Amino acid sequence: MSDLSMTHSNLSQVDEIRMQVMWNRLISVVEEQAMTLLRTAFSTSVREAGDLSAGVYDPQGRMLAQAVTGTPGHVNTMAEAVGNFIAAIPRQNMFPGDTYVTNDPWLGTGHLHDITMVTPSFKGEELVGFFACTAHVVDVGGRGFGADGKSVYEEGIQFPIMKFAERGQVNETLVALLRANVREPNQVVGDFYSLAACNDVGHARLIDMLDEVGLDNLDSLGDFILTRTHKAVMERIAALPNGSWYNEMLTDGYDEPIKLAATVTIDDDKVLVNFDGSDGVSRWGINCPLIYTKAYACYAIKCVVAPDIPNNAASLAAFDIASPVNVVNAQRPSPVSLRHVIGHMVPDVVLGALSQALPGQIQAEGAGALWNIHISARPVAGQDGRRAEVLMFNSGGGGARPGLDGLSATAFPSGVHTMPIEATEHTGPIVIWRKELREGSGGEGRYRGGLGQTIEIAPMEGHEFEFSAMFDRVHTPPRGRDGGKAGAAGSVTLDDGTVLRPKGWQFVPAGRRLILNAPGGGGFGGPAERPAEQRAEDLRGGYVNKDKG
C-alpha cells in the first residue's frame, strides 16, 4: 500500500503535497462525471444550461468533492440527499452494479423535476464510497412545470428512494411507469440513463485512480480533505464579528406578495441562519422544502465567508439553517414545483443581513430567480404540425458589487449557462425573435446594477402555445445597497400590449408574440459618486437611456 494511506497527523511535507494532488485528482474525477452527463443528456436544460450536479461521497455519505459544473441548489441539496439514500437502503442490500433513484422533493433536491441518482462504488467487495448526480428533466407529468398545483400529488409522478438498477439490471417496470406518465418519454428516459451512465464513469475513474496510487479505499484521502477544509473554514469564521443581524424582503408571490425574513447569527465556530418571520406556506407551488432553502442559504454564506475553500461536507457543516414551518420550510404534501422562485431569493435575504455585519462588503440585490419559461406548443386546430415541450432558462441582471458593476443577464445565484437560441428553437415549433440586453434596467449607483434582458418569443406559423410563467421581481424590483437605486422591475406582455401574469399557465395565440422584460440588478453606492467617464461609457455602450446620460 502507498504511504498516502498514513493519517493526516503523520504526513510529511512531501506527502501533504501528494495528498493535495490526489484531492485535485478527485475533483477531476467528478468533473468528468459531470461532463459525461452534459455530453449524453437529452434535455436542453441539462445539455445546454448545465442544470445539474455531480459529486463523490465517502461510505458514510459525506461529500468529499463536487464537480465545478453544476448549481448550488443541486450540489448542496445532493450533499444531504445521499444520507437519505443510505438510510433508506441497508448496506446488505447494496451490490456492485446498483443505481438508486428518487425525485422526492423532501429527500432529494426540492421538486419532482429533479432526478437524483446515487451509485455505490465498490472496489472488490469493499464499499469505498458513492457517486451521486442530479439533473432537471423536461417533464414529470401532472400539471407540468408550473405553480398552479395545489399539492405535490398534482405536480407529477413521484419516485420514492428505490433501485433504478440492481447488479447492472435496469428496473424495466420503473421505466414503463415513467414512460406512461410523462409527455416526452424518450427525452426523460434518455436522461435517466444519462444520469446512471455519468455515475458509472465516475466510479470507473475512481477505481483507476485508487489502483494507480495503491490505495484500497478513500479513507485517508477523505480524512485529509475534511480535516483541512474544517480548519480553513473555522479560521474564516473566527475572523468575523460575533452577533445577530436581521433582514427581510418582499417577493412577488403568486397572487400576493410574500415576505422572506432571515436572522444571521455568527458565533466563534458557527454561522446560523433562521428564517423565522417569513410568511406561511403558500397554497401555490412556489414553496420550498427546507433542504433546498438550506442549499442556497449555505451558498450565500460561503460566497462571503469562504468563496475559495472547496465545497464539501466539512465546509457545509459550519453553517446551521433553521426555520419553522413556512414558505421556506414547506411540509409534504405542499406544492413545490417552482421552489426555485423562492429559493433563488434566499441568498439576497441572507446577504442583506450579512451586509449589516460587514458594511460596504456585500453586493446589492439582483434579479435572483431565473426567468424560466416552460412552453407547451401545438398546431392550431385543424392544421398539421408538431407538438413539443420546450424549457428555456433566462436571467435578469446581477446586483452591483463593492468596486464593480453588476453582471448583466447572469444567473446568480443558480449559475446555470445561457441556453443558445438555436438549441431552444430546435426542440419545438417556436421562434425567438429577439434576445438582447434591456437598456436602462440596471439600478443607478457608484457601481451600476447589471442589465436584464428582453426576450421575444412566438409560435411558428400554424401553431399556438401555452406557457408556464415562473417570473418574479415584477412587482418588487431588486433593491440597491448603500444608497444605490433599485433595478428596473420585470414585465410580461404580448406584443399588442396585453399585460400577462408573472406566474401561472397562460396562452399565446397564433400570430402573437410574447415579450419578457427581465429585471435589472440594484445599484451600489450613491449615483452622484459615479465618475463622469463611466457615465459617458454607459451612454456609449447603451447601458442607460439617453435621457439619463
pLDDT at 6: 37
Whether the CB-CB separation of 484 and 444 falls below 8 Å is answered with yes
pLDDT digits (tens, 9 = 90+) for 327-348: 999 999 999 999 999 999 999 9
Burial class (CB in 10 A: 0-12, 13-18, 19+), 484: buried
Count Cβ atoms below 10 Å from residue 124 Cβ, excluding itself: 9
Q: Does 10 score more than 70 pLDDT?
A: no
Beta-strand pair 271-274/319-322: parallel
Buried b (16+ CB within 10 A) or exposed e, 419-431: bebeebbebbbbe
Mean pLDDT of 85-92: 97
Which residues have CB under 8 Å from 165's CB, separation 6+? 97, 98, 99, 171, 196
Omega before residue 324 within 30° of 0, cis: no
Whether the CB-CB separation of 12 and 224 falls below 8 Å is answered with no
Give the whole-angstrom CA distance, residue 182 versus residue 113.
11
Q: Predicted confidence band at 9 (pLDDT cuts at 50, 70, 90)? A: low
Omega before residue 333 within 30° of 0, cis: yes
pLDDT at 1: 31
Q: Does 548 score more than 70 pLDDT?
A: no
Which residues have CB under 8 Å from 58's CB, separation 6+? 64, 129, 130, 218, 219, 222
Q: Does 196 score more than 70 pLDDT?
A: yes
Beta-strand pair 463-470/503-508: antiparallel
What are 129's strand-pairing partners? 121
Domain boundaries, the chain: 3-231, 363-549
Buried b (16+ CB within 10 A) or exposed e, 285-316: bbbbbbbbbbbbbbbbbbbbbbeebbbbbbbb
Helix or strand (DSSP H, E) at 399: none
Q: C-alpha dihedral over 240, 242, 246, 247, to 10 degrees?
A: -10
Q: Does 402 score more than 90 pLDDT?
A: yes
pLDDT at 212: 93
pLDDT at 546: 66
pLDDT digits (tens, 9 = 90+) for 108-139: 999 999 999 999 999 999 999 999 999 999 99
Give the whole-angstrom CA distance, residue 411 versus residue 396.
7
pLDDT at 5: 37
pLDDT at 394: 94
Closest to 140 in 3D by CA, of 34, 43, 280, 242: 43
Mean pLDDT of 371-392: 93
pLDDT digits (tens, 9 = 90+) for 426-450: 999 999 999 999 999 999 999 999 9
Q: Does 547 score more than 70 pLDDT?
A: no
Q: Predicted confidence band at 378 (pLDDT cuts at 50, 70, 90)? A: very high
Whether the CB-CB separation of 249 and 260 falls below 8 Å is answered with yes
Q: Predicted confidence band at 68 (pLDDT cuts at 50, 70, 90)? A: confident
Whether the CB-CB separation of 484 and 526 falls below 8 Å is answered with yes
pLDDT at 3: 37
Q: Predicted confidence band at 188 (pLDDT cuts at 50, 70, 90)? A: very high
What are 246's strand-pairing partners? 263
Q: Predicted confidence band at 542 (pLDDT cuts at 50, 70, 90)? A: confident
Q: Does 8 score more than 80 pLDDT?
A: no
pLDDT at 445: 97
Give the whole-angstrom CA distance, residue 75 versus residue 68.
10
Which residues have CB under 8 Å from 12's CB, separation 6+? none
- Percentage of the chain modeled with pLDDT above 70: 97
pLDDT at 49: 81
Q: Does 2 score more than 50 pLDDT?
A: no
Beta-strand pair 162-166/169-170: antiparallel
pLDDT at 387: 93
Q: Predicted confidence band at 454 (pLDDT cuts at 50, 70, 90)? A: very high
Give the whole-angstrom CA distance, residue 105 versus residue 92.
26
Q: Predicted confidence band at 549 (pLDDT cuts at 50, 70, 90)? A: very low
Q: Predicted confidence band at 520 (pLDDT cuts at 50, 70, 90)? A: very high
Summary mean pLDDT of the chain: 94
Helix or strand (DSSP H, E) at 491: strand 491-494
pLDDT digits (tens, 9 = 90+) for 461-489: 999 999 999 999 999 999 999 999 999 99
